[in-house]
Amino acid sequence: MKIVVADDLPASALDLIRAEAGWIVDARSGRKPDVLAADLADADALLVRSATKVDAALMDAAPNLRIIARAGTGVDNVDVSAASARGIVVMNAPGANSISVAELAVGLMLSLARQVPAADAAMKQGKWEKKRFMGEEVLTAQLMQHWRPLIRALGPAARLVDRLPRSSSRNWNYLRQNAMRFRDAALLDSGFQRFFAGTQISSPALRARIYDPAFWRRQDGPDGYARLEAEYFGAPELRALAPLQQFLLADLTVHMPGSLLNRLDRASMAHSLEARVPFLSHRFVDWSLTIPLDLKLKGKVGKYVLRKAAAPWLPQGALDKRKLGFQLPFAEWFRGDFSDFARDAWHSSGADRAGYLEAPEVDAIAREHRAGKANHGRILYAITMFSCWWQDQKAADETKAAAAA
C-alpha cells in the first residue's frame, strides 16, 4: 500500500508508519498541487495536516485513493462531500491536540490572573507599574466567580484539563492538581458551595477514592457540597445573596469559629495565654456587615476599606506586600522521614482496618505524594492524626474493659 504524507509530521509518527510491512511511505511537505496530483496517481492513502487542501480535483487525480487521514482535529481542508461521493473514507484525530489545548487554556488563565499581558505591554512602553499589576491568588472566591461563566461556556472542553499528563516535575503536577480543583469549584452552584470546596482539605474525587464506599455514600456522596449548603445555609433568603456575600457569610459563621478561632484558643491556652481578637468585637462585626461589597473588594484589591483605614499607620509599601499565612509544610513532611511515622501509625493502630478508609488507596496516595505526582500532604496528615486518635481510643477501651473485669 502506498501512503502519501503531504504535510510535516513528527519523525516518530513517520517511523510508526514505515515500520508496517508492505507500506510504502512518500513523505514530503510543500509540494505544488500538480506535483502532489502526480504522486497520488497510484496512492492508496493520503495523510495531511492543515496546509494541504484536498478538493475534488485532487481526488480525481488519485483513482486508487481509499483513505484521507487528517492528523488533527478538524477536516475543514478536506472536501468531505466529494470524498463520500467517490467512496473515500475521511478520518481525523479529534483528541490529538487535547493536551496541548488544555495546557494552553490553563496557561492563559494563569496569565490573565497575574495580568501578564497588560504588564508586558506596559514594560515594552518603558513603564514600571508593578503596583498597578498586582496579581491574584488563583484559588479565591472572586476569581472563581470571574471565571465561572467562561468555564461553563466551555462545557465538556473544560474537562480537558483532566488529560494534562503528570510529569517528573513536582511543581507541574501540583499546578495540574490545583487547576482541576479550581475548575470544579468554579462550576459549583453557589458561593456557599464554593466556600466548602475552598476550605476542605481534599477533593470529592479523592474522598470517593479513599473512603469506604458505604461511608462515602453516608458522609459525602456525589452531592456532598449541596448537602452541606442545605445543612448550614438552608434558609431561602440566603440564596438571594450575591456569591461573594455567601462566601463571606460562610467564612464568618463556619470557618472562623470552627477552625481559625479554635486553633487560636488551643495554641494560646496551651501556653497559659488569654488571647483576644479586637476585630471581633460584636459592635465592630455588626458595623462591618453593613459595609458595601465594593468597599470590601474594590476591583482586585481585597479588604479595601481596612487597607485605607490602616494606611496612615503603616510604613510605606507595607500594604503592597503579599499575605503570608501560617501554612504547615505538610507536603515536605510527607516526602521526608515523617512519612515513615505516618505509615507505621496507619497500620499499627488498626486504623487501616477500621472500615472507614480503603487501605490500598491510602497507601497508593502516600506513594503518589512521595513520588511528587500529587500533593496529598493535608489529607495524609489528617489520616495520621486519625490513626493516632484511633490508637488512643483502643487503649482507653482496653483499660475500661480491664477495670470492668
DSSP letter string, 52-67: S-B-HHHHHT-TT--E
Give the model's confidence band at 263: pLDDT under 50 very low, under 70 low, under 90 confident, else very high.
Answer: confident
Distance CA 256, CA 267 (A): 15
Asked if pLDDT for residue 234 goes beyond 80, the answer is yes
Report CA dihedral (101, 119, 112, 145) to the nearest 10 degrees. 180
pLDDT given at position 139:
44
CA angle, residues 107, 371, 173, in degrees to nearest 5: 10
pLDDT given at position 120:
82
Phi-psi group of 378: left, alpha or beta (phi > 0 → left; psi -120 to 50 → alpha; rest → beta): alpha
Secondary structure (3-state) at 69: strand
Asked if pLDDT for residue 113 goes beyond 70, the answer is no
Distance CA 28, CA 9 (A): 10
pLDDT given at position 349:
94
Distance CA 29, CA 32 (A): 9
Give the model's confidence band at 7: pLDDT under 50 very low, under 70 low, under 90 confident, else very high.
Answer: very high
Closest CA to 365 of 220, 203, 224: 203
List domains and CATH numbers for the chain. Answer: 2-96 (3.40.50.720), 100-315 (no CATH), 330-404 (no CATH)
pTM over 0.75: no
Q: 143-152 b/e with 16+ CB inside 10 Å = b?
A: bbbebbeebe
Give the model's confidence band at 316: pLDDT under 50 very low, under 70 low, under 90 confident, else very high.
Answer: confident
Distance CA 26, CA 31 (A): 12
Q: Which residues contact 138 (CB under 8 A, 6 or more apart)?
A: 110, 113, 178, 182
Asked if pLDDT for residue 141 goes beyond 60, the answer is no
Give the model's confidence band at 42: pLDDT under 50 very low, under 70 low, under 90 confident, else very high.
Answer: very high
Distances (CA, A) of 289 to 171, 207, 233, 245, 292: 39, 35, 17, 10, 8
The HSE-up count of residue 334 (CA atoms within 13 Å, CB side) is: 27
Distances (CA, A) of 391 to 3, 384, 400: 68, 11, 14
pLDDT given at position 134:
60
Distance CA 378, CA 210 (A): 14
- 266-275, 317-326, 338-347, 378-387: segment of lowest average pLDDT: 317-326
Asked if pLDDT for residue 155 goes beyond 70, the answer is no
DSSP assignments along 206-229, one per residue: HHHHHB-HHHHHHHT-TTHHHHHH
Distance CA 95, CA 102 (A): 11
Secondary structure (3-state) at 326: coil
Q: Greater confidence, 184 or 42? A: 42
